[in-house]
Structure 1
């Protein structure tokens, strides 16, 4: 059995198939841990999500911000952007089934035998492993509820809930968790989330902002954190407990696969015609 972790696929289906062919991925015995943002920006989101769903138990995805946004689009809460290339997915006969499968997926996965935890964007440095599990599970329970659209998805589009406190109301806790686990890049000095800057750390002129992983962390001291979301990092994070896997395939760069057992990275360049 081999365990693979893969960065943001974002509809790059042909590149996904190519990188899995490189390692002779066998869903009958191997596992594919997917760091979220399975859809949008690439031109084959429909094929991508159908394939991942077909893998059943061998696929271990978490939700990213684009996956959550797809729920809002399907629920007619938002209008799609042409740049996200989601028309064929939204018009598919099985879109309802695909969205129902998607909302069964968690925001966080913990490896069953190793101290490895995976989310889309990272883990707030002030959260220990028990806290992040508790808060992510609360979001999961809200998403599998039949009223998930009106209770949660309709309210998640806010930048106002950016700082964690233990006394936050339940709805605010859910939205903060979504913001942190699926949107986080930089933090302000007080630990609050910044939602604007996407530059790599070496290019950021604002010295009031620091990447979330440069703060003292209660989780990276005990676990390896696997995340994506931040393509501008291009996988370059100087920390032994971090695995950054978003390497911008949908922007013309490449997909990255981390083979856990050998601790090796495998890459697949964006194909010219996909």
Structure 2
């Protein structure tokens, strides 16, 4: 007698897909990821720059409750274009979404994605968490942005999200300044000034390449380091695993690989993305 296979209850976190639907489809076909009881977390930047943003978005949406996808800067950019806040860029590849017959449904689904997931003893955010924030505060701040994007007048909220200033958090921040810091930290931050913690949005290369700038996760005074933060956004950092942080952006859209990591034991599965380049 063959016993039924025990539920896995596993969580696999997948790095930046960025419209590489073919690579994602191949990765999800792996036996350990294809089980119906396996939960799949997506670390933001589901679309843009890759060859099939529409296919990637539809695929992730079709996973239903198995998928927990957060918003990245490219996903927010698409929402801003739809809202008329930003023009499409020359390198954007989400025109297929805008022209799709189910565009309204896909955009509605996308804007209801969270900014942050905190579960299974881990935190997932697209870019990072400011060291001044406890995780309880970060979760509450993420909720402020989520609420704004889920309102009927969500288009107006996008006007407040763009701009680099202010570069630091202050508990007294209100309005658009407050929203900008939250969104910039969670979806754009890579490095900060070592002297005072100001975010820097010009450095996109390898860590420590610019004197005086350090990765956000190496700033002193970080709160709640016992809950590891899983993030993407930084392809030059690549696969980076240590007890308190895990980076999973392995540059699929640049022809490298799409990475999935199992939370319970840090097992890695990677899919070659040569065709995405």
| Alignment counterpart, residue 234 of structure 1, candidates 235, 238, 251 | 238
Q: Deviations over 1:22-55 (max 9, x none)?
A: 2343363111100000000001100111111111
Q: TM-score, normalised by structure 2?
A: 0.92
* Residue 213 (str. 1) matches residue 221 (str. 2): no
Distance in 2 separating the partners of 1:225 and 1:273: 27
Deviation at 1:79, TM superposition (A): 1.9
Secondary structure at the aligned position of 1:83 is classed as: coil
Q: Which residue of 1 aligns with 2:47?
A: 39
1:47-196 to structure 2, matched below 5 A, reads 47-111=55-119, 114-150=120-156, 152-188=157-193, 189-196=195-202
1:101–1:271 CA distance, 2 compared to 1 (3 A): same
Which runs of 5 or more structure 1 residues have no equivalent in the other structure?
none
Q: 210, 221, 227: which is aligned to 1:223? A: 227
SS at match of 1:109: strand
Task: Give the Cα separation in 1 of the matches to 2:148 and 2:128.
Answer: 20
1:60 counterpart SS class: strand
The C-alpha deviation readout for 1:30-87, integer Å capped at 9, x for no partner, is 1110000000000110011111111111100110000000001112222212422111
Query: Do 1:235 and 1:246's aligned partners in 2 also have CA atoms closer than 8 Å?
Result: yes
CA distance in 2, matches of 1:108, 1:226: 10
Q: When the two structures are superposed, what TM-score results if normalisation uses the length of structure 1?
A: 0.93
Secondary structure at the aligned position of 1:255 is classed as: strand
Does 1:260 find its partner at 2:263?
Answer: yes
Give 1:90 deviation, angstroms. 1.2
Aligned residues: 268
1-structure distance, mates of 2:174, 2:23: 42
- The CA RMSD over aligned residues, in Å, is 1.6
CA distance in 2 between counterparts of 1:186 and 1:169 reads 24
Residues in 1 aligned to 2:34 and 2:255: alpha-carbon distance in whole angstroms: 27
Distance 1:220 1:227, change over 3 A: farther
Q: What SS does the corresponding residue of 1:207 show, helix, strand or coil?
A: coil
One of 202, 206, 210 as aligned partner of 1:200? 206
The one-character-per-residue Cα deviations of 1:77-125 (angstroms, maximum 9, x if unpaired) are 22212422111111111111111111111100011xx320000001111
**Structure 1 CA distance, aligned partners of 2:207 and 2:54?**
33
Shift of 1:199: 1.1
Q: Is the 8 A contact 1:77 1:154 kept in 2?
A: yes
Q: Secondary structure of 1:231's partner? A: coil
Structure 2 portions without partners, runs of 5+: 1-7
Q: Indicate conservation of the 8 Å contact 1:27/1:58, yes or no.
A: no
